[in-house]
Structure 1
């Protein structure tokens, strides 16, 4: 009788422990999936911010260079003037929203860089262009040279910002891709598979290898 009771208690406890562990793993897995989805959403948002900045800055810089060239050649058309004005309006209209989006991703330093190194340079060029169009006088070469130099500096800065945002977005995608793994270290080498250990023996930089993250540590 005692043996049967012992077996019954053992069976119940084993089942309970199994259900408990299964529940914990499922709970962890659900939490991980939520984290991954959130990280994917953030990475996609940053890519969209980058694309929007690249589109707006490219259009503004192109139109600025175009109108400088046309004024210099005394061949400015109404279509070119309207295209330039539209690019200025689009840029200014989206600037604050862009700053807010960058700040929400804890990238406020990029908002500052865009304002100082891109927007202010384009604003300097705009003042000279506006003066020439408004006064409708003969072109002062020095003014246009300054406007073109400001535009070129804005272009270089915009290019660097775009590259930096691209690198950050790519790193975030890599973090998502590598979420279920971790770098091979001396502290987790016991978790590495036999194949990974064999590869590490002949690998030039074995600590650059990755192993599956322990499910209990996810």
Structure 2
């Protein structure tokens, strides 16, 4: 869903830039409570996985593109604040070195994918987890539903931004139909990927999954000396 440079007017781009800056600033402070020496490496792996997933890119229309977002997956694995930072770093690297999106649209893309995508995905995950049995088996299901909802939610917010400050000569209704329609399909795929990845991590190291805290026993850290 990378928004290109010039697709939104300057006031809208500046506004989303402010939202993105505030969101990332808050995440930088809050992420300290989510990470420790055991979980910090997971953040790097999550960022790399999301980066790879977002490389599968296809046009949606009017200069925009569609791909997996990864916000819900990242939030469940490493926590919502850390997930916001992971997605933001991925978007920054893509904008700087791969011309994916644009630098003037970076604030918009961070707002849509790193803030809205993460926030909605994690909120739905927590809501679903609250009504399901409190077992590890509920975590992938809740994560998948969070991913499913987060993708069209971000597309809907983009359409609102386009209605406010879009510069392309395209009817807002057509943008809404294209963006939400395509991203609903993408959301289904993202739900499957998210559920499978979370299940795989839970099967091997449930203690490292942020969304499973309180449901999984903390495993002792095994070092090479202890193993010897």
> Normalising to structure 1: TM-score of the pair?
0.25
The structure whose residues are more often helix, as a share, is 1
Q: TM-score, normalised by structure 2?
A: 0.25
Higher relative contact order structure (alpha carbons within 8 Å, sequence separation ≥ 6): 2
Structure 1 or 2, whichever has the larger Rg, is: 1
